[in-house]
Structure 1
Amino acid sequence: MTATELTARALLLDMDGTLVNSDAVVERCWRRWAAAQGLDGDRVMSVVHGRQGHLSMAILLPDRPMEQNLAENREMLATETADTEGIVPVPGAPAFLASLAGLPHALVTSADSRLSQVRMAAAGLPYPELAITAEHVGASKPDPEGFLKAAAELGVDPADCLVFEDSGAGIAAGLAAGMRVVGVGPRAAAHHPTVQVPDLTAVRVTARPDGALLITV
């Protein structure tokens, strides 16, 4: 397959499914929640990736008070944070993140700060200096707020940012922010990212003399 070259001024990175493979934990926790609610597990799993938990709950149980969703999401976050069994890096993620040392990039995740730190550590990955987590936004992906906030913090125009995402909600958020999106992994393929890669193994990032980043995927 012919390599694609993109240029950007900053890279904005999702975590779950993009840098960290946490599917085993997500499946355990959310299928258990689905069973307790009498919901179909496959239906629940088709919704939860990329979104904050309370928004997923609101979609799946639209008649339930948001206060209950928020309370259950706090319990879910505690459960997920305590469960690190099966967490591994997405193939290529360690070398990819190492190549970004000193370059403009940020983590933009629907996880809260504690969960994101625990999962990155469990996968043996360095935690980026700038992280936009659930506490920093008022709206969950697919709203673009998180990506726009990261771009503003880095001082980079949204059009000059390149997003790496795996979920439909995340890809929609990146595109809505006016950014190009590299879809990572099999989940991304159905959601029309700008470019699609199976994992991060073949992704290369090079800093040019003018400060721009050349990304080969």
Structure 2
Amino acid sequence: MGRHPHPYGGRAGREDRCAGHRLHGHALFQAEAEEPVEPTTQETPAARRCVFFDVDGTLIDALDNQRRVWAAWAVRFGLDPDEVYRVALRTRPVETFALVAPDRDPRACLAALHELEDEDVRSGVYTAFDGASALLHALPPGSWALVTSNYAHRVRGRFARTGLPVPEVIVDAAAVEQGKPSPGPYLLAAERVDATPGHPGLCHRREVDLTARTQPA
């Protein structure tokens, strides 16, 4: 599948290789968490791997939703939807407002965008990418988390609509001062799952099969 723009502005998504699964969008970040082991002569705790997923464009196909939200936002402010969407694909929302509506209050612009996004979570149609549900259900509880530039309540709403399991840890836009591509959100996720960051080169930006490890041999 081709490149997917980040659903609500920012860097375009990419298909990434991570542990043999198809990931549509930004990859993730792997960490190791220490697991307690039975008392033996070995004192070093065993390590388990944890993986952190982006959401929109990685697990959920939100491309059409993105288009609808930005089109509705543009119409509300009397702007050309195609031009607004073109700008939104490569900038963060606050930067989009500055470029396409420099004479408007950015707080009002952002409030309108949030309103439209929340309504889309309630009424929009969402689809999980093939294999996403099987992969997430196959992961041990506590071994994965979500790191998103969106907000946790929207993620939970979309996951409920698509039948995806919700992890214990979600690091969203409200949890950090600097979002992706800053490592901050991933480091916070590692802290919350009690893991030590490691193997940063495991995920490569190539297309792989998300169903590869979720189908029986």
**Contact 2:73 / 2:112 at 8 angstroms: preserved in 1?**
no
* Structure 1, 113-122 or 57-66: larger mean CA deviation: 57-66
Residues 1:57 and 1:150: Cα distance change in structure 2 (over 3 Å) = farther
2:63 matches 1:23? yes
Q: Tell me how far apart the structure 2 counterparts of residues 63 and 44 of structure 1 sit (CA, whole Å).
A: 18
1:106 deviation in Å? Answer: 0.5
**Normalising by structure 2, what TM-score?**
0.64
What is the match of residue 84 of structure 1? 124
2:114 matches 1:74? yes
1:43 deviation in Å? Answer: 5.5
What is the match of residue 54 of structure 2? 14
**Contact 1:112 / 1:135 at 8 angstroms: preserved in 2?**
yes
What SS is found at the alignment partner of 1:195?
A: coil
What SS is found at the alignment partner of 1:157?
A: strand
1:30 deviation in Å? Answer: 1.2
Q: Which sections of structure 1, spanning at least 5 residues, go unmatched?
A: 161-178, 183-193, 205-217
Q: Tell me how far apart the structure 2 counterparts of residues 23 and 113 of structure 1 sit (CA, whole Å).
A: 19
Q: Tell me how far apart the structure 2 counterparts of residues 112 and 135 of structure 1 sit (CA, whole Å).
A: 7
**Normalising by structure 1, what TM-score?**
0.64
1:99 deviation in Å? Answer: 1.6
What SS is found at the alignment partner of 2:137?
A: helix
What SS is found at the alignment partner of 2:51?
A: strand
What is the match of residue 205 of structure 2? 195
1:57 deviation in Å? Answer: 3.4
2:138 matches 1:99? yes
Which of 126, 130, 151 aligns to 1:112? It is 151
AA in 1 matched with 2:205: V
1:129 deviation in Å? Answer: 0.9
**Contact 2:72 / 2:116 at 8 angstroms: preserved in 1?**
no
Q: Deviation per CA, 1:67-87, whole angstroms, max 9, x where unpaired?
A: 2333223323322222232x1
What is the match of residue 125 of structure 1? 164
**Contact 1:27 / 1:45 at 8 angstroms: preserved in 2?**
no
**Contact 1:54 / 1:72 at 8 angstroms: preserved in 2?**
no
Q: How many residues align?
A: 171
What is the match of residue 12 of structure 2? none
Q: Which sections of structure 2, spanning at least 5 residues, go unmatched?
A: 1-16, 21-29, 33-49
Q: Tell me how far apart the structure 2 counterparts of residues 79 and 199 of structure 1 sit (CA, whole Å).
A: 33
Q: Percent identity?
A: 28
* Structure 1, 129-138 or 57-66: larger mean CA deviation: 57-66
AA in 2 matched with 1:155: D
**Contact 2:135 / 2:213 at 8 angstroms: preserved in 1?**
yes
